[in-house]
Amino acid sequence: MSTMIFDLRSSETMIFDLQMQAMANVGKKEQWLINSSDLDWFRNQKLGEGGFGTVFRGSYLGAPVAVKTSQTSATRRGLSDMALELRTLRRLRHPNIVSFYGACLAPGIEGGLLLVEELVEGKTLESYFSQDDHNNNNNNNKDNNHHPHSSDDALAPWRVLLGIMSALRYLHGHEPSIIHGDIKPENVLVRDGEIAFPKLVDFGLCRRQLNTSRPMGGTRRWMSPELLLPGASRAPNRATDIFSFGRLAFFTVTGKKPLSHMNQKEVFEYTRSGKVAELLWPDVPKAFQSQCMALCQSCLPEDPLSRLTAKEAFEDILAWVPQVDREYITRPQISL
C-alpha cells in the first residue's frame, strides 16, 4: 500500500491529488505531518543542492532545522524522488543517519512537499578531509603522514569510517534491505566538535532491495561497475553500497578523490569496458593506510559476490584501533 501512496510518477492530476491526500493521512497517523504555519525556511541560507532538491536552513517551532525542497525546474520528478525518500527516511533511527523530524504537505509551495530534518552543524566529508585544502593552507607542513582533517582528533578517519559503516550495517539489516545508493563524501556530514562524528545524509536515491526496484542513478566516480556496464541489471543491492564505501574509505584516509588522474568521461569509459581502475595510494603512507588498503581490496572486487558484507566491513574497521583507545562516541565524563 505504501508503494502506491509514495510513488508520485503518475501524470494524472486526480491520481496525484489522491496520493497527496493519502500521504497526509499517513503522516497524521504516524505523527510526522508538520503544519506549514509551524515551519519557516530561509532562501538566503542554502545548505546544499542536488539534482532534484535544495536544502535550506530553517526553523521548526523555533528550533533550527534543515528543510529540503524540490527543484522547481523539475518539480514532478523531484517531488517523486522526495516522496520515495520520505517513504524510507520516516522509519529510520540511527545515530549516524540524519534525523527525520517530519514533512510538510502544502499544495502550491515548492511542489507541495518539504522534508524537515536535523540541522547538522559541521562540514561535508569532502571539506573535512580534503588533502588539497590542507596543502593550500599548510604549505610549510613537512609532516606528510599527518592526516589532512580539520581537528586534533587523531582517530578521525577511523571514527568516520566506523560510523558510516555502522549506518550501512543498520540499513542493510532491514528486511528487505535499504540501499542508500549514493555513498560519496558530499553525502556525509562531520559534526563540529573535538570528536569526529559522521552523519549519512541525502536519501534521495535510496531504494529497498527488491527485484522490481527502479534504477537509482548515482555519481560515476563512486559507482560500482555493474551499474555502468551496457545491458547490465541496474537493480540496487547491498554490494553496490559496499563498492561505493570502498572508494569513500580511500578518500577518507588519503584526502584524495579516487581515480583523480581520470576525468568523469574516462572513468565511465574505462568501467564500461569491464575493468575496475586501480587506486593510486600515496608513496608516503597516511595514518591507517595499510588497514584501509586491505579493506578496499575486499570492498572493490569487480564481482559483487566477492565483496564484504556491511557486518564484515564493520568488524574489520573496528579492529583497526585497540579497544582501550576506542573513544568513537564521546570521551569519558569528568567527575566534579
Report the sign of the C-alpha dihedral through residues 88, 91, 97, 102, in that order.
positive
Cell of 31: 505523527
Distance CA 190, CA 31 (A): 29
Q: Confirm or deny that 68 is annotated as ligand binding.
A: yes
Helix, strand, coil % (nearest 5) of the chain?
40, 15, 45
DSSP 148: -
Q: What is the dihedral of CA 24, 25, 29, 34, to 10 degrees?
A: 20
DSSP 4: H
Cβ–Cβ < 8 Å for 102, 34 = yes
Helix (H, G, I), strand (E, B) or coil at 59: strand
Q: Which alpha helices (DSSP H) does 144-277 contain, by range?
A: 156-172, 238-254, 264-272
CA 133 to chain centroid? 22
Annotated binding-site members = 68
- Enumerate the known binding-site residues for ATP: 68
